[in-house]
Amino acid sequence: MSLLIPMDLEVFFNDRWWVVALKALFAFVVLLLLTLFTIWYERRVVAFMQQRQGPNMNGPFGLLQSLADGMKLMFKEDFTPTAADKIIFTLAPFVVAIPAITAFAVIPMAGIVRVPFTDIYTPLQVSDLPVSVLFIVAVASVGVYGIVLAGWSSGSTYSLLGALRSSAQVISYEVAMGLALVAVFLYAGSLSTSEIVAKQAEPATVFGVPLWFGVQLLPSFIIYLISMVGETNRAPFDLPEAEGELVGGFHTEYSSMRFAMFFMAEYMNMITVSALATTLFLGGWHAPVPFNLLPGADSGYWGFLWFVVKVLVLLFIFVWLRGTLPRLRYDQFMRFGWRWLIPISLAWTLMIAIVRLGQREGWFSGRPFWLGAAVVFAVLVGLAFFGGGKEEPAKEAGKPGGEGMGEFDAFAGGYPVPPMGDQVLPEFAQVLSGEEDLAPDRSADDQRTKEGSEA
């Protein structure tokens, strides 16, 4: 198997200019409509999750709500603070919004379609590059400049802090996101979005049915899902905005249409990362499993339907997360990103690379491999049954900050401090006299204290 499939992107570069223009217009309109729809969709879904109705007054089912909100924003006063750097303050919303739109250019929305009223056939994708996914990742990062510039040029501390948090967050989670994508590149043998979609439509070697990378590379998919939420500054990772805690993050000083740009860009980013997830992990515009048995279920413009359905499912996950999880603290969020997400995705990527190389070199076909695997398996099973038990107390005592901490001093260093490691509050250690039946579970704590002091 060759690692790099020769790419055939000729079809994208032979389009006539007006066909490309039409497709660009189509992508733009789709993105805008999807943005308006997503705002309504999110508000409705999150409302139902909270046993409310959500916006239901403007238009059928309240569908025109975001349009009404947009009109309202347009007629509001466009306010520029005195301390703001006028030029950059005006420029920043565009720097955020334009990359959000641009990234959609290389997303395949359907297969080969006929341009209406002509005999021209073309893929429903504005363009494709040999490095499309890299292009998306790169363009998405440009949006961070907009955030930083918006925060800095506002001339407000709140904005600046919000911008710093926002950009730190986006940059941190981009690493995990990029690593999650590497596994897909290794399996698809290409960075071009249309090639990756085509690869997922091929029957897989194991089951003989097309397998999405989301199934084949489930850990990558999960890491991508988590990091795409962090990347778009959405709940539970919406720390830069944190309505109810902060003033509003980097767009505190923005109003009117310039605020609307940020708002739209946020939703466009959501749609773009969802579309990327659809393309890379969920088989792109191809029909999902029961429907792909129908001939022509995803031919022509039908592919667009499946694409939109998959994007909406991913957007539902965004909303579901928002409706369910409380916001993380900033240090928890950063620790999760750097200490868990990135190492796990690094290890997973390394493993994928080894497996790919092994498959190519035929490591897994020989007897030594299976013997080794059997031995490892037997040892693991043995450990599961007989190992462990005795080591736990030692592990407990060896916990960071466990042993050497000594007795709990509530005013260590002259300040009131909480107990650390296996230190126990004096009430529970029975250093202070108290009601005997105050804490029924105290016996367990006492046990631990004794063990701790013995160790």
Beta carbon of residue 340, minimum distance to other proteins (angstroms, whole number): 14
- Where does this chain touch other proteins (CB under 8 A) — which range of 275-283, 317-325, 338-346, 402-410? 317-325
Under the binding rule (CB under 8 A), the answer on residue 359 touching other proteins is no
Per the CB < 8 A criterion, the answer to whether 234 and 318 are in contact is: yes
Query: For residue 304, which of 14, 26, 22 has the smallest C-alpha distance?
Result: 26
- We find the least distance from the C-beta atom of residue 54 to other proteins, in angstroms, to be 9
Q: Which stretch binds other proteins (CB under 8 A): 47-55, 161-169, 343-351, 371-379?
A: 47-55
Rounded to whole angstroms, how far apart are CA atoms 434 and 445? 15
The DSSP string of 168-216 is HHHHHHHHHHHHHHHHHHHHHT---HHHHHHHHHSBPTTTSSB--HHHH
Site size toward other proteins (CB under 8 A) is 12
Contact with other proteins (CB under 8 A) among 325, 347, 374, 444: 325
Preceding peptide of 93 cis, ω within 30° = no
Residue 425 makes contact with other proteins by CB under 8 A = no
Burial label for 372, CB within 10 Å (0-12, 13-18, 19+), is exposed
Does 53 sit near other proteins (CB under 8 A)? yes
DSSP string, 232-274: TT-TTS-TTT-BTTBS-GGGTT--HHHHHHHHHHHHHHHHHHH
Helix (H) or strand (E) holding 111: strand 110-114
Binding window for other proteins (CB under 8 A); candidates: 20-28, 44-52, 80-88, 366-374: 44-52
Contact stretch for other proteins (CB under 8 A) within 184-192, 269-277, 318-326, 375-383: 318-326
CB-based contact 150:255 (threshold 8 Å): no
**Could you say whether residue 340 binds other proteins (CB under 8 A)?**
no
The owner of tokens 């957007």 is: 315
Q: What's the chain's length in residues? A: 455
Stretch that binds other proteins, among 141-149, 319-327, 391-399, 428-436 (CB under 8 A): 319-327
CB of 322 to other proteins, least distance (A): 9
When asked if residue 323 is in the footprint of other proteins (CB under 8 A), the reply is yes
Which residue, 251 or 322, is less far from other proteins as judged by CB? Answer: 322
Given the complex with other proteins, which of 51 and 443 has the nearer CB atom? 51
Contact range with other proteins by CB under 8 A, out of 50-58, 68-76, 274-282, 288-296: 50-58
Closest CB to other proteins among 48 and 377? 48
Stretch that binds other proteins, among 74-82, 90-98, 133-141, 321-329 (CB under 8 A): 321-329
**Cross-strand partners of 203:** 210
Backbone angles phi, psi at 7, to 5 degrees: -90, 145
Residue 114 or 339 with smaller CB distance to other proteins: 339
Q: Does 45 bind other proteins (CB under 8 A)?
A: yes
Q: Which is nearer to other proteins, 61 or 320 (CB)?
A: 320
Structure token digits, residue 394: 């030692």
Smaller CB separation from other proteins, 165 or 322: 322
Cα separation, 188 vs 342, in Å, equals 22
Number of CB atoms found within 10 A of residue 258's CB: 22
Round to whole Å and give the CA distance between 131 and 9: 11
When asked if residue 48 is in the footprint of other proteins (CB under 8 A), the reply is yes
| CB-nearer residue toward other proteins: 52 or 450 | 52
Is 68 an interacting residue with respect to other proteins (CB under 8 A)?
no
CB of 68 to other proteins, least distance (A): 16
Token pair 């997973």 is at which residue? Answer: 348
- The reply on whether position 51 binds other proteins by CB under 8 A is yes
Q: Which of 118, 157, 299, 324 binds other proteins (CB under 8 A)?
A: 324
- Work out whether 219 is an interface residue with other proteins (CB under 8 A): no
Figure out which of the listed residues 11, 49, 91, 201 binds other proteins, where binding follows CB under 8 A.
Answer: 49
Least separation in angstroms between CB 44 and other proteins: 10
Taking CB under 8 A as the binding criterion, the range among 41-49, 239-247, 301-309, 350-358 that sits at the site for other proteins is 41-49
Contact 275, 110 (CB under 8 A): no
Using an 8 Å Cβ cutoff, are 440 and 433 in contact?
Answer: no
Q: Which is nearer to other proteins, 9 or 317 (CB)?
A: 317
332 part of the interface to other proteins, by CB under 8 A: no
SS3 123: strand
Q: Does 52 bind other proteins (CB under 8 A)?
A: yes
Residue 234 is encoded by which pair of tokens?
């959405």
Q: Which of 185, 90, 91 is nearest to 136 (CA)?
A: 185
- Nearest distance from C-beta of residue 319 to other proteins, angstroms: 9
Residue 340 DSSP class: I
Q: Which amino acid, one-letter code, is at 212?
A: W
d(CA 111, CA 121): 10
Per the DSSP assignment, residues forming a β-bridge with 113 are 122
Q: Is 46 helix (H, G, I), strand (E, B) or coil?
A: helix
Which residues lie near other proteins (CB under 8 A)?
45, 47-53, 320, 323-325
